[in-house]
Amino acid sequence: MKSLRLVAAGLVATAIAMTAPASAQNVGDVGQDSAGNVYTFILDTDGNGRWIRGRVAEGRERTILAERYTPTIWTDPDGCEHWVMDDGVEGFMTPHVTPDGRPVCNRAQACGVMQTDQFFATDSARIHAAGRAELVRFFQSASASAYGIQGHTDSRASDAYNLRLSKRRADAVADVARSTGARVIDVRGLGERQPRATNGTAAGQAQNRRVEVICYR
């Protein structure tokens, strides 16, 4: 094995030629041995990383372990905005942190509650036309940077069934939100596990059959 000194990206570090990439090895890295020979780190047809003699192409592909990243900003379900560079490096957008180093995220609050009886037929996750139009108006007028959608049911039927139904209904509302250009960052079905009222009465059950919209501002 040859001892190499990496010169890519302005870094100088000692490395050893290998048949599989290290965890932080970049495809396209250029190295040089003690005799001055130039090597390039590539992935072969079997997906194994290795050094080959010569320069394959000018510049860096910025691909790590054969996975290509797109620079972007995204928001997690806690409302924290992240940035991602094209080499996979990630960090938080906010400069504010708590004393223990956790990022201070965007404020989130429930900004809309849709009683599912008004939007779906019994045992259905298909939104009728009038309900879809109402949801479109809601998302077009709401002024949030991102949204979370949570589906809920009453306690009738099994827990597993209610989880599936509430998720399907949350997905349906999320699809309407996305059709208006809204950023939906979290969609989940919680079934009967977070009731707003008692399931012992018909009125209480009706309150529990709902889809909640969480606004991140």
- Looking at residue 217, its pLDDT comes to 75
Q: Is the pLDDT of residue 184 over 70?
A: yes
**Contact predicate 216/110, CB 8 Å:** no
pLDDT of 23 over the 80 cut = no
User: What residue spans of 48-158 are helical by DSSP H?
Assistant: 129-141
Average pLDDT over residues 94-112: 66
Q: Give mean pLDDT, residues 21-44.
A: 63
pLDDT, position 185:
85
Q: Identify whether the C-beta of residue 3 lies closer than 8 Å to the C-beta of residue 16.
A: yes
pLDDT band at 129 (very low <50, low <70, confident <90, very high): very high
pTM: 0.56
Domains of the chain, residue spans: 3-64, 69-102, 108-216
Q: Say yes or no to pLDDT of 27 above 80.
A: no
- The percent of residues in the chain predicted with pLDDT above 90, rounded, is 45
Q: Report residue 38's pLDDT band, with 50, 70 and 90 as the boundaries.
A: confident
Does the domain at 108-216 match CATH 3.20.20.60? Answer given as: no
- Rounded mean pLDDT of the chain? 75
How many helices and strands in the chain, by DSSP H and E? 3, 14
The whole-number average pLDDT for the span 125-132 is 95
Query: By the 8 A CB rule, do 189 and 211 touch?
Result: no
138's tokens:
């809601």
The whole-number pLDDT of residue 95 equals 54
